[in-house]
Amino acid sequence: MTPAELKAWKRDGRKIVGVVAWDVQTARILDRAGVDIVSVGDSVGINLWGRDDPLEVTMDEMVLVCRAVRRGVTRALVSCDFPYGPLQDGAASAVRAAGRLVSEGGADIVKLDGAADHLDAVAAVAASGVPVFAQFGATPQTGGRMEGSAELVAQATALEEAGASLLDFTHSGPVAGPAVVAAVGIPVLGGLGGGPWLDGRIRMIHRATGYDVQAIDEEPQAYANLARATFDAISAYADDVRTGRQIRGA
């Protein structure tokens, strides 16, 4: 899978499927399921490691997690998020970081959050030969602010002109979303606040599969309830151990 192929899909009206993941086994499952983009998000800090702030994730950590996902993917496009620091330190720092994510992490494309505020970095990374997945809209990096439709269209077109290959439009909504999709020739995807008006969607693996401790007690709005399935499986395993039965899978 390549950015050029996904751009052709946009022209053909074919939707793009993206999932955020952080480990090799999940990556293998997603690749076999036919997902088009496996996105290695800096949300790993919150969802896998229990941190309070995704901005705490470091470059070394993103390289490590990206490398794990890369080992599980043979078909899909592997995207890896920039951590917070390199993008704030200027275009030269962004180019070096992108090089690491590709050469050490195995990323096919790098994702720059709050990219509309860093057009110079987007242009520099793209010019270096590394494809850019530019995130804009309301993001942690922008302080959660959201502009009007006209400004968002302007940001999207500026990102495309700077060399971005894909756009991640967060909290697009049914007004600005279609306007941005129509204004650019590159695919526009989105997660929270998105909808079928976009060229594709991105969903975190835990959200898609209901893998959250709250789902043990409350049925999630997801495609499965892995939290309940895991809870039931471990409870059955513990019961076998405590009653002296042979455990399964031994």
Give the residue extent of every domain in the chain: 3-209, 215-250
Dihedral pair phi/psi, residue 4, rounded to 5°: -65, -40
Which residue in 133, 92, 93 sits closest to 114, CA to CA?
133
Contact 230, 220 (CB under 8 A): no
Asked if the model's pLDDT at residue 77 lies above 70, the reply is yes
3-state secondary structure of 49: coil
- What is the percentage of the chain residues whose pLDDT exceeds 90? 86
Helix (H) / strand (E) containing 189:
strand 188-190
d(CA 180, CA 136): 11
Quick count: other Cβ atoms within 10 Å of Cβ 79? 28
Look-up of token digits 């030269």: 92
Average pLDDT along the chain: 93
Asked if the model's pLDDT at residue 206 lies above 70, the reply is yes
Contacts of 66 (CB under 8 A, 6+ apart): 40, 78, 80, 101, 105, 106, 107
Tokens of 86: 């390199």
d(CA 126, CA 129): 5
- The reported pTM is 0.92
3-state secondary structure of 202: strand
* Predicted local distance difference test score (pLDDT) of residue 144: 47
Q: Which CATH number applies to 3-209? A: 3.20.20.60
User: What is the pLDDT averaged over residues 205-209?
Assistant: 96
- Please, is 51 exposed, middle or buried when counting C-beta atoms within 10 Å of its C-beta (0-12, 13-18, 19+)? middle
